[in-house]
A and B are shown apart, each in its own frame.
Chain A
Amino acid sequence: MKLLQKNLLAGAAFALLGIIGCASPQGTREDYFGYNNKPVIEEEKPEATQPQAETAPQEKKWRNPLSDNSRTAHVYYEPVFVPVTAPWWDRYYGWEDYHHSRVVVMYPHHRVRYYDWDYANYPYYGGYPYYDRYPNYDRFPYNNYPDSREVEPVAAKKTSRGFGSSRGTINRDSEKDTRGSNNSGWKVRGRDGNVTTPTPEKPNESTSSSSSSRSRGSVGVTPRGGSSTEKKETTTTQTNTSKKSDSGAKKSEPAKSETKKETTNKVRGRGE
C-alpha cells in the first residue's frame, strides 16, 4: 500500500511537471535558459478589442462632446492633482504633518512657540494667542506640552555564558557576579546534604552556612531563609562561617550575622 502511494505521488509529480512543461513553451531551451547577454523581454501587445480613441488622429478638430446627441455616455476624465503652494495665511492645518516637523522651543512659562518662517519673522503674532491658534483653537491643549522629564532607560543586564566551541580565551572576572539578572532557577545541592545559597565568588564571604560542615553522609537539611528567594536584590541575614578553609567551617561555629545582598538563586537541599 505504501509503495502504491509512493508511486502515485511520484507519478502525480511527474505529470504535473509535464503539464507545466508543455504549457505553451514558445521556443527552445536556449531561448529560456541559454547564456544570453541580451535577452528579449516580450512586452504585452495591446489587444485588438481596445478602444481606438487613443489612436484616433490627433489633428481632428475638437468638438463639444455634449453636442453629440448620439452618445449615451460621457467620457469621464480622471482628476489630475498638481502641486499648489498656499500662502501662509491660508494654510489648512488639519491634516499635514506640518506641526510635527519643526523645532519646538520651550519657554520657562511653558508656552510653545514655533520658529518658522511664519512666526520667526513675525514675532508679534506669537504674542497673541488668538493668532497662533493657542489655546483658543485647541491646537495645543494644555496637556500636550513636550514632556521634559528625564526617563531612566531600562537597561537589560547582560550575562555571560561559559561554554561553547572555543578557540581562544578571555580573562575571567570571577569577582563579578553576573548571575541573577534573568535567572529562572539556580539550584545548588551539596553532596553533604545541607542547603546553601549561591552567592558571588568570595570565599571569605562564603554564605554557605552548612556546606562548610562537610560531614559526609549527613542528610539533614538546614534551610536558610526559606527554600527560595526573590530575584530582585533583597537583604537577608546570613550566617558566616569558614573564613579560611572548610576545616574551620567544619567546626560549625555560627560566627556572626552579616547583612548581604542576596542574589536571585533558588536553593535546595541535597539528596543523596
Chain B
Amino acid sequence: MKNLLKTSLLKHTLIYGIALFAASSAQAQFIEDGLRLSQSNGYITPRAGGLGVAYHGVSDDFAALYYNPAGLSLLGKNEVTVGLGFMRNATETNFLQNETPFQVNSTIVSHAGFSAPFKINGKNAAISIGYALENNYDNIVKIDGFNRTSSIIPGLPSPTLPEADLRTAGLGGFVNEKFVTPLRDSLQQTATIQESGGLHTVTGGAGFDLTDWVSAGFALTAKGGQYNYSRRYTETDIYNKYKTLDDVNYTDIDFRSLDIRNELTQDIEGVSATLGVQGKIDKFMRIGVTVKTPTFYQIKETFSTDLTATFDNDATGNITTGEETTAYNFTTPFIFGAGLSFNALGMTFTAGAEYNDVTQMQFSDATPEVTDLNLKAKEELNGQTTWGVGVEYEVPLAPIIVRASYTAITSPYKEDIAGADARIVALGGGIYLAPNVRLDGLFRWTDVSQLRANYGNGSGSQFIMQQRPLNIALQLTYRY
C-alpha cells in the first residue's frame, strides 16, 4: 500500500514537474518557421507533379527550370505552358484521444511559363522564364479536448504578455514576488488554427549543350509571398472547478473561460539559384545532377495577441497587445538533387532524389531567442531525404500519355512520430489535342503527420496533426 502511494506520488510529482517546465518556457519564432521556408509543397507543373521528385530524371520542359535547368536544351520547340490547381487540404488532429477533422479548399495558378530554344555555335540551347507557386500554406486545424493535466495559463507570461498584465486581467497574482496562478489543469481546450498564403516564384534561366551529350544550365529565382497564421484558442472551466477568488495566496480564482486570439503575418522575400548538369546516353537515357543554392530570405512579421478572461460574475479582463513587428533574415541550406531516366518502347522510367540538410538553416539579424534556433536546429533536426520513382507511358494508337509516381520525404526531426515521413502518390496523364498541344491532368495525394503543441513543450499540450492534401491540377502546353 505504501509502495503504491509512493509510486502515485512520484507519478504526480513527475507530471507536475513536466507541467511546470512547460509553464516556465515560452517560444518566439519556431523551427517550423524555418522548415516551412526550407521545404516546398508545390509541384511546379502538373506534369512534374505527376512524376514527383523523379522528374529530376526527365527534366525536359519548362519545369526543368526548377528541377534541372540543363534539361532546357532538350526543348526543340518554343513552349508556352500554363496551369491551374485545386487543393483540398484535409487535416485531422488527435488531441487527448479526441479526433477532430477539418478541410479547406483552395484554387491556385500553379505555373505559367515560356521557353524558347535556339542554336549557339551549332549546339542546342534554350532560355526559359516563368512563374510557379512553390508553397501553398492554406490549412485549417481544429483541436478539442478536456485537459486534466495542464493549461496554457501558467506558461502565458512572456515578453509579449507580461506577468503584470496577466495579473491585471485577473488570471493570477504575485505571491512572494512570483507570479502565481491556480489555473493549471482540468479545462476544456479548443483551438482553431488557420494558415493561409503562399510562396510565389519568378524564375529565369537557360540550358545549353556543352557537347553533343552533355548540357549545363542555370536559373535564378526571385521569391515572394505571405504566410498568415491565425489562432483562436479557448480554455473553459466546464466543470466549474475554479469557484472562488483568493486574491491573497491565489489558491483559487472564479475562472470561467479564456479566449486568446493570435494573428501573425509574415512578408517573405528571397532569392536563390539553381545549377544543373545533364548527361544524355545515346537516345534512351539521361542522368542529371542539380545544386540549389541557399535561398536568402528577408522576413518581416506583424503579430498581435488579444486575450480575454471571463469570470463567474461576468467580469472580464482583457489584454490587447496591438500590432507589433519584427524582422529577421533566414537562409535555407543547399539542396542537392539527382535523377536518371531511360526510355524504351514509349515508356519512360525515371527516378530522382534530393538531399536537404535542414540542420544548416540559419536565422540571422534577429533577437537572441530567434538566433538560438540555429543551435536548436542542429540539435533536433536531421538531413532530409526526398526520393521517388515514376513512370510515363505513351499509349499507342491513342492520343494519350499516362504517368504515375511515388515520392517519400523523410522527417526533418531526429526523433519523430509514426507517419512523419511524408508519402506522396501521384497519378497523371495528358491528352494530345493536337500533335503540338497537350492537356495534362494531375491527382496527387500526400499523407504526413506532424507533432505540434498548443503551448510549451510539456505533456498534455501536444497533438498530432495528420494532413492529407489532395491536389488536382490541369496544364495546357503548346509547342510551336
A residues engaging B (CB < 8 A)?
17-18, 20-23, 25, 27-41, 43, 156, 158-174, 176-179, 181-192, 196, 198-204, 206-208, 211, 214, 216-217, 242, 244-247, 250, 265-266, 270, 272
**A271 — nearest CB in chain B belongs to which residue?**
B316
**CB < 8 Å: which of B74, B118, B158, B476 contacts A37?**
B74
Q: A158-B326, A160-B158, A216-B245 are in contact. List 18 more A-B contacts (CB 8 A).
A: A20-B478, A21-B435, A22-B434, A25-B434, A27-B436, A37-B74, A158-B370, A160-B160, A164-B229, A165-B452, A168-B27, A173-B159, A182-B323, A190-B169, A201-B157, A206-B167, A244-B174, A244-B175
CB distance from A179 to the nearest CB of B (A): 7
How far is A38 from B332 in the complex, measured between Cα atoms in Å? Answer: 36
CB distance from A224 to the nearest CB of B (A): 13
| Contact status A18-B327, CB under 8 Å | no
- A-B contacts, 8 listed (Cβ < 8 Å): A162-B158, A165-B193, A187-B318, A190-B169, A203-B164, A214-B245, A244-B175, A244-B176
**B306 — nearest CB in chain A belongs to which residue?**
A187
| Contact status A191-B160, CB under 8 Å | no
| Contact status A163-B367, CB under 8 Å | no
CB distance from B39 to the nearest CB of A (A): 14
Contacts of B450 in A (CB 8 A): 165
| Contact status B309-A191, CB under 8 Å | yes
| Contact status A162-B26, CB under 8 Å | yes
Complex interface: stretch among B1-9, B103-111, B196-204, B453-461: B453-461
**A174 — nearest CB in chain B belongs to which residue?**
B157
Contacts of B60 in A (CB 8 A): 35
Contacts of A41 in B (CB 8 A): 76, 117-119, 124
How far is A177 from B321 in the complex, measured between Cα atoms in Å? Answer: 13
Interface assignment of B479: CB less than 8 Å from any CB of chain A: yes
CB distance from B136 to the nearest CB of A (A): 16
| Contact status B315-A183, CB under 8 Å | no
Contacts of B94 in A (CB 8 A): none
Contacts of A217 in B (CB 8 A): 313, 315
| Contact status A160-B348, CB under 8 Å | no
Interface assignment of B161: CB less than 8 Å from any CB of chain A: yes
Interface assignment of B248: CB less than 8 Å from any CB of chain A: yes
Contacts of A22 in B (CB 8 A): 434
How far is A2 from B178 in the complex, measured between Cα atoms in Å? Answer: 67
CB distance from B448 to the nearest CB of A (A): 14
B residues engaging A (CB < 8 A)?
22, 24-33, 58, 60, 74-77, 117-119, 124, 157-165, 167-170, 173-179, 193, 212-213, 229, 231, 245, 247-248, 262, 264, 280-286, 301, 303, 305, 309, 311, 313-328, 343, 348, 366-370, 372-373, 376, 380, 394, 399, 401, 413, 432-439, 450-453, 455-457, 476-480
Task: Known contacts A25-B434, A167-B451, A177-B162; decide if A187 and B320 are in contact (CB<8 Å).
Answer: yes
Contacts of B399 in A (CB 8 A): 29
Contacts of B328 in A (CB 8 A): 158
CB distance from A46 to the nearest CB of B (A): 14
How far is A175 from B162 in the complex, measured between Cα atoms in Å? Answer: 9
Contacts of B434 in A (CB 8 A): 18, 20-22, 25
Contacts of A20 in B (CB 8 A): 434, 437, 478
Contacts of A27 in B (CB 8 A): 435-436
| Contact status B283-A170, CB under 8 Å | no
| Contact status B76-A37, CB under 8 Å | no
| Contact status B315-A186, CB under 8 Å | no
A-B CB proximity, top 7 nearest? A21-B434, A39-B76, A185-B322, A191-B170, A160-B28, A191-B317, A37-B280
| Contact status B177-A203, CB under 8 Å | yes
How far is A35 from B286 in the complex, measured between Cα atoms in Å? Answer: 10
| Contact status B369-A183, CB under 8 Å | no
Task: Known contacts A184-B322, A185-B322; decide if A170 and B25 are in contact (CB<8 Å).
Answer: yes
How far is A102 from B323 in the complex, measured between Cα atoms in Å? Answer: 47
Contacts of B453 in A (CB 8 A): 166-167
Contacts of A190 in B (CB 8 A): 168-170, 317
How far is A178 from B178 in the complex, measured between Cα atoms in Å? Answer: 20
**A272 — nearest CB in chain B belongs to which residue?**
B315
Contacts of A165 in B (CB 8 A): 30, 32, 193, 229, 450, 452
How far is A33 from B229 in the complex, measured between Cα atoms in Å? Answer: 42
Task: Known contacts A165-B452, A179-B324; decide if A245 and B174 are in contact (CB<8 Å).
Answer: yes
| Contact status B324-A182, CB under 8 Å | yes
| Contact status A191-B315, CB under 8 Å | yes
| Contact status A187-B319, CB under 8 Å | yes
Contacts of B248 in A (CB 8 A): 245-247
CB distance from A64 to the nearest CB of B (A): 38
Task: Known contacts A17-B439, A40-B76; decide if A162 and B314 are in contact (CB<8 Å).
Answer: no
Contacts of A191 in B (CB 8 A): 168-170, 309, 311, 315-317
**CB < 8 Å: which of B22, B168, B367 contacts A159?**
B367
How far is A270 from B310 in the complex, measured between Cα atoms in Å? Answer: 13
Contacts of A35 in B (CB 8 A): 58, 60, 284, 343, 348
| Contact status A203-B320, CB under 8 Å | no
| Contact status A25-B435, CB under 8 Å | yes
| Contact status A198-B164, CB under 8 Å | yes
**CB < 8 Å: which of B117, B159, B323, B480 contacts A160?**
B159
Contacts of B76 in A (CB 8 A): 31-32, 36, 39-41
| Contact status A164-B29, CB under 8 Å | yes
Contacts of B231 in A (CB 8 A): 163
How far is A251 from B213 in the complex, measured between Cα atoms in Å? Answer: 89
CB distance from A244 to the nearest CB of B (A): 6
CB distance from A240 to the nearest CB of B (A): 12
| Contact status A201-B164, CB under 8 Å | yes
**B320 — nearest CB in chain A belongs to which residue?**
A187
Task: Known contacts A17-B433, A33-B438, A247-B247; decide if A179 and B318 are in contact (CB<8 Å).
Answer: no
**CB < 8 Å: which of A34, A198, A247 contacts B165?**
A198
How far is A265 from B283 in the complex, measured between Cα atoms in Å? Answer: 70
CB distance from A159 to the nearest CB of B (A): 4
CB distance from A108 to the nearest CB of B (A): 37
